[in-house]
Amino acid sequence: QLQLVESGGGLVQPGGSLRLSCAASGFTLEYYAIGWFRQAPGKEREGVSCISSSGGSANYADSVKGRFTISRDNTKNTVYLQMNSLKPEDTAVYYCAARVLPHCSGYVYGMDYWGKGTLVTVSS
């Protein structure tokens, strides 16, 4: 069974950091581009970041550029999202998703497999 499982969410103060992990089981991530998405209460889901299958390219939403870094370790079948300088507006459920394509072009328009999400709360 193909599964993506997110972890690493929690409560953090503004200015703090968290690292989210997205672990795959039942399939090998190395052939898939992986995206991180988030959905805040009352808002639509938005794409946060995406990394190509090789890890050679990544893109970021303007709202997180310079603060978030996506990376992957294909030997561990895991993708990470390092989040620094967190703001209250980063509060959301964060999801990882995989697409059966190696690149991130247009990733916000279609992903093939989704995790169930992990909650990130940024509050003092």
Local confidence pLDDT in tens for the 124 residues of the chain? 889 999 999 999 999 999 999 999 998 999 999 999 999 999 999 999 999 999 999 999 999 999 999 999 999 999 999 999 999 999 999 999 999 999 998 898 889 999 999 999 999 9
Sequence-separated (6 or more) residues with CB below 8 Å from residue 48: 35, 36, 37, 38, 60, 61, 64, 68, 81, 94
How far is Cα 92 from Cα 24, in angstroms, rounded to an integer?
Answer: 22
> DSSP class of residue 89?
G
Tokens of 18: 């968290």
> Burial level of 103, CB count in 10 A (0-12/13-18/19+)?
middle
Residue at token pair 């328009």 = 109
- Contact call for residues 22 and 114 (beta carbons, < 8 A): no
